[in-house]
Amino acid sequence: MSLDLPEPDFTIGEMLFLSFSNIRRRFFRSVITALGIILGIAFMVALLTSSFVLREMQAETGVEAYQFWLVGISLVVCFGGITNSMLMAVNERVKEIGVYKCIGGLDSHIVRLFIIEALLLGILGGSLGGLIGILFGIVINLNRFSIEEISLLIQDNILFFVILLVASVLVSMILSALATYVPARRAAGLSPAEALRYEN
Amino acid sequence: MSLTEHVVEISDVYKTYHLGKVKVHALQGISFKIKREEYISIMGPSGSGKSTLFNAIGGLDIVDSGQIFIDQVDIAELDAYELAWLRNRKIGYIFQTFNLLLAFTAQENIETPMIFAGMPREERRKRSKELLTAVGLGDRMRNKPGQLSGGQQQRVAIARALANDPAIVLADEPTANLDLATGLEIIELLRKLNNERGTTIITATHDLKMISISDRIIWIRDGYVDRIEDRADVQVSSIE
C-alpha cells in the first residue's frame, strides 16, 4: 500500500527556528543545562591551562605528578556533567516528543530538533566554559608568576589557547549531541501513545 | 482519494497490555464502521478500553491483531513515514490533558503541524490566525498555554487538530478536565466544526453531555462493543 507522498519540506531554517524558540522559552532550564556543560568544560580547560603554564615556565612546584591525574579526573567530570545534563533534559521531555509525533513529526525530524538544540547549547557552553577555564587556569598561577611573565607566555602561545578554545567547543558539541541523540532516538522510537503516557 | 462512505473501519481488533505478570485485555475483538461526517461518541466506564481504542484508531499505538482502515487504507501496512503523514494530514487529535507545547504561543502551537506539513510561513501565519479566530481566541494568539484557562487551552488544541484540515478529529475525553459550562462550550464547538466543515468527529468519553449531540453512540464494556445506538434511541433509554 503506497500513499505516494511528497517529500516533506522541513528546512534547516525551520528547525533552527523551532530549536531556538525552545531554548529561549525554556530559558531557565536551558541555563541550568548550559551551566552543566560550562562547569564541566571550564574545570577541564582550567586544569589543562594551568598545567600548560607550569610546564612552559618549567616551574619546580612539585605538582606535576598530580597534573596527569587531575586532567584525567577533569575529563571524567566533564563527560559526566555534560552527559547527565543532556540526558535529564531529554528525559523530562518525552511527553513533548509524544506530542510532536501526534501532530505528524517524523522520528528523524524530532531527533534533529533535539540535536540542533543540543549543538546550540554545546556551542554556548563550550565557548563560555573554555573562556572561563582559560581565565581561571591563568588566575590560579598569578601567585607564582608575575603578570608580565604570564602575558608574555600568552603572547608566545596564543595558538595553544585558540586551539584549546576550539577543542573545548568541539568536545562540548560532540558530547552534547551524543548524550542527546541516544535518549531522543529511543523516545522518538516509542509509539506516540507510549511517549504520552511516559512518566519521569 | 475517492469519497468513500466509511472513513473508519475497524474489524476484530485485539489489544492486551502486560503489566508485570498481569495481562490486561483492553480490547477483545472490536468491530465497527464510521461514516464520513458522522459525530460518534465512544462511551463506557473507566477501564473499558476507550482510550486504547482511541489510540488504535489514531494510529498512536499498535494493536495485537485485527485491522484498522482509515479511508480504506490499512494502517498496519503503513511505514513510519506514511503513519506520520496520516497523523499530520488525515487525523487531528484532542486530548484530555490538552498536550500543547508549553514553550510556544497559541499561534505557534497551531503552526507546528503546518511546519511538519511543509506549509510556507506566510500561509501558516494566515491560517493559524483564522483557526484561532474560529475557535474564539483571536485575541489570545501570543499567549502561551500557561497563560490560558483550561477551556481556552482546549480550544487551542482543537484549532491545532484542524491545522491541516483533517478528515477525522479524534478526541479523548475532551471535557474531562473542564467544568460543566466550559465542557458544554467545547462540545458545542466540536458540533459546530462537524456541521460546518464536515469533519468526522470521534470522541472517547464518559461525559453524558455528549449523548444529545452525537449521531451515534458506541458503548464499550470490558473491551467489547456492548451496543451501538442512534441518537434517537439513546434519548429514550437514558430517560428511563
A13-49 tens-digit pLDDT: 778 888 888 888 788 888 888 898 898 899 889 988 8
A104–B81 CB contact, under 8 Å: no
In chain B, whose CA is at the least distance from the CA of A196? B99
| Model confidence pLDDT, tens digit, residues B58-93 | 999 989 999 999 988 999 999 888 999 999 999 999
B95–A193 CB contact, under 8 Å: no
Sort out which chain A residues have CB atoms less than 8 A from B55's CB and list them: 191-193
Smallest Cα distance from B180 to chain A, Å: 26
Confidence (pLDDT) at B240: 44
Would the pLDDT of A64 be above 80? no
In chain A, whose CA is at the least distance from the CA of B83? A104
Interface confidence, given as ipTM, is: 0.88
A104–B87 CB contact, under 8 Å: yes
- Taking Cα atoms as reference points, which of A119, A141, A123 lies closest to residue A52? A141
CA distance B17 to B38: 30
Chain B touched by A156 (CB under 8 Å): no
CA distance B15 to B28: 7
| Model confidence pLDDT, tens digit, residues A117-141 | 899 999 999 999 999 999 999 898 8
Smallest Cα distance from B36 to chain A, Å: 20
User: Which secondary-structure segment (H or E) carries B106?
Assistant: helix B106-116
Would the pLDDT of B10 be above 70? yes
Confidence (pLDDT) at B208: 86
Residue A44 contacts by C-beta under 8 Å, 6 or more apart in sequence? A71, A74, A75, A77, A78, A133, A168
Average pLDDT for residues A85-114, to the nearest whole number? 89
